[in-house]
Amino acid sequence: MGIKQFSNPQAGFVNKFLGQEKFDSTGKNTRKVPTGPIIGHTATGGIISDYTDPSNKIWRAHTFLDPGTFTITSLAPDESPAYSATVEYLVVAGGGGGGGNVGGGGGAGGYRTSVPTDIAPSTSNSGTNFTVANSTSYVVTVGEGGGGGANTVNRGETGQDSYFGPPSAPAGITASGGGGGGARTSGSNPINTGGEGGSGGGGAGAESGSTVTGGATDAVSTPSPWPGPSTQGYAGGNGDAGTGAGGGGGGAGGVGQAASYPAAGNGGAGLPNSISGVDVTYSCGGGGGIHPPSTGNGAGGSSIGGAGGSSSSDGGDVVTTAGKGYGSGGGGGSNSRTGGNGAGGVVIVRYQIGTTQTGEAKASGGQISFYNSKVIHTFLQSGTFNNTSGSPLTVDYIAVAGGGGGGGKYHGSGGGAGGVKTSIPGMMPTNESSVTVSPGPTNTVTVTVGGGGAGGSGTTGSTTGGTGGNSSFGPTNAASGGGGGGQWNAAAGESGGSGGGGGPGGGSAGAGGEGTAGQGNDGGTGQGTGWAASAGGGGAGGAGENGSAGPGATGSPGTSGGKGGAGVQLPADFRDPKGNGFAMGSPTAYWYVAGGGGGSVGSLGTPGPGGNAPDPIGSWSGGGRASISPGNGWNGESGTLNTGGGGGGSERGPHPNNYPNDGGSGGSGVVLVIYPE
């Protein structure tokens, strides 16, 4: 029989995750899948994701946003150059901070890579692949961005170096931190000039006299002897004398622009790199600051580096959304203003693990894809699973329930993530047994995908978020829906797969809901003092954070809403590389589900982000963020569909009007079934 195709309101999401194509009447799929088992290295460390490039090579990438260790547990067989004892790399250092007081833009962090397609306009930035050894660990250091120079006398801080290689640093790949932008001072002063680094910082706008020079780029010499390019970035632009305009910081793809009042210099361009599977631009220079009344501040390189300040404003920080901006420099400050912060670096290591071919399923139901000699059935809505092979079929499964809704009305708390139940060892604290499915139409397995709980109402009905629906594979393998978030007056969070966050209140605090053992974690506790903040909902990978108490005065905001609990990463066999996984804005965030929703605060406070393991940007594990926006429409964000993420809590409108608002809905669940091809 043919494989049944279920209707899908989220075609875009499915195409990202599965990249599936239509089936013929035999159940065979025409899309390409790996040829046999994974051939490449076996390694640990960082955030692991797989993808297929346009030439049908399958790659595994390890992304490090923090220091760590890359360990080769087994080498690929030396069957061809593609599977030799090497890895490709991208090492990006932290960007420099922008200078204060008509400061120069921060220089980009050094950019070093062995990916041969990434070539700068004037010089090749690609070196040779890095040779690795069996049963060997390699150090990964990820440099932080430099802070912006404060006020009138501070050059921007130099970014920190990044490193990949053996414990002995000269033997590995070092990228130098970006140089800080110069700061305007009286007379001739060394801090007027841009700092040296991976890319040089821009020179400050001078009060009088000669032009102020931008910083130089550090030469590359390690490991020695080094066969690759001698550069890792470009110099910063010169600052302008007289009234004052700062030069742009250098970038990995070009020099920082020199200033010429009334225009400050733009930051140097960054370089794109697709080593993660997505084309991302790294190491952009920051723009120079300008002396008022001019508004000709320098733009950040590639529209990503921090923009320079104008009209007596601080220099801008780096644009870091959607995974962009790693290693970029901050913008220089305007007159007597602080420079922007540089962005932290990143280290990515990849190696080929296979090529692709066609595959054939042994069962029907859901959306079907093939990876690593496995067949994956993904249910985005309820359906049935039927063994069509004629023989008993042993399968493993992951059931993710719907997330709980965020609390509504005033200061709503985040909803809890849907529970996760699985037969995959090591994914959760406890695991169930594999399931054997007999063949034939009378042995159909019912698959239930739970919907997300409704967000709490801001005006009518219950103000506590609704509980998410259960998901299950068969009658006994059920994951519990996430608990709804509490709200003002210390309403407790609801219990569920993961518990909803507890609401705050005048003098008391709502307790977080309890998570189900082996499926999720507890929600955080709300705060009861002052204009208190609500808590984050629990996630499958961690508890929701507590809300932080506000100053206590009437009209004062809460200090911080609790962050939603972290989600969990899908095992490697489920990471179909034909799509981009659960990619919520960044290539480094693939394969995470069941994050908790974030808690809210008062009108000027900081909302809690959705549970987002492991990166701080976005809500990639599905949990909704507690929202702050202009006006009165401060509703919590909803959890991402088919991730089991909890909904974000509602915001309280500005005092004294205290507008009530809705909590975000929980994200619907998903059921995944897998077996050998």
Average pLDDT over residues 499-525: 90
Tell me the pLDDT band of 640, cut-offs 50, 70 and 90: confident
Average pLDDT over residues 438-462: 89
Average pLDDT over residues 46-54: 80
Tell me the pLDDT band of 347, cut-offs 50, 70 and 90: very high
Over the chain, what is the mean pLDDT? 81
State whether residue 13 is helix, strand or coil: helix
Give 263-293 pLDDT, tens digit per residue: 999 999 999 888 888 788 999 999 999 988 8
Q: In percent, how much of the chain has pLDDT > 70?
A: 77
Inform me whether the pLDDT recorded for 588 exceeds 50. Answer: no
Average pLDDT over residues 530-544: 85
Find the range with the poorest average confidence among 246-255, 263-272, 286-295, 598-607: 598-607
Higher pLDDT, 218 or 10: 218
Cα atoms in the Cβ-side hemisphere of radius 13 Å centred on 304: 29
Average pLDDT over residues 584-609: 61
Can you state the percent helix, strand and coil of the chain, rounding each to 5?
A: 5, 25, 70
Give 74-107 pLDDT, tens digit per residue: 888 765 556 778 899 999 999 999 999 999 999 9
Residue 114 in tokens:
């062995």
State whether residue 283 is helix, strand or coil: coil
In whole angstroms, what is the distance from residue 432 CA to residue 428 CA? 10
Tell me the pLDDT band of 11, cut-offs 50, 70 and 90: very low
Contacts of 24 (CB under 8 A, 6+ apart): 2, 30
Q: Which helix (H) or strand (E) holds 11?
A: helix 11-17
Q: Indicate if the alpha-carbon torsion angle 426, 427, 433, 434 is positive or negative.
A: negative
Tell me the pLDDT band of 654, cut-offs 50, 70 and 90: low
In whole angstroms, what is the distance from residue 583 CA to residue 608 CA? 21
Place of tokens 């991976």: 198
Residue 67: how many other CB atoms lie within 10 Å: 13
Higher pLDDT, 577 or 123: 577
What DSSP string runs through 443-512? GPEEEE-PPPPPPPPSSSS--SPPPPPPEEETTTEEEPPPPPP--TTTPPPPPBSSPPPPPEETTEEPPP
Residue 302 in tokens:
């590639």
In whole angstroms, what is the distance from residue 626 CA to residue 643 CA? 17
- The confidence score (pLDDT) of residue 575 equals 64
- The confidence score (pLDDT) of residue 521 equals 96
Inform me whether the pLDDT recorded for 569 exceeds 70. Answer: yes
Cβ burial 9-39 (10 Å sphere, 16+ → b, else e): eeeebbbbbbbbeebeeebebebbbbeeebb
Average pLDDT over residues 45-56: 80
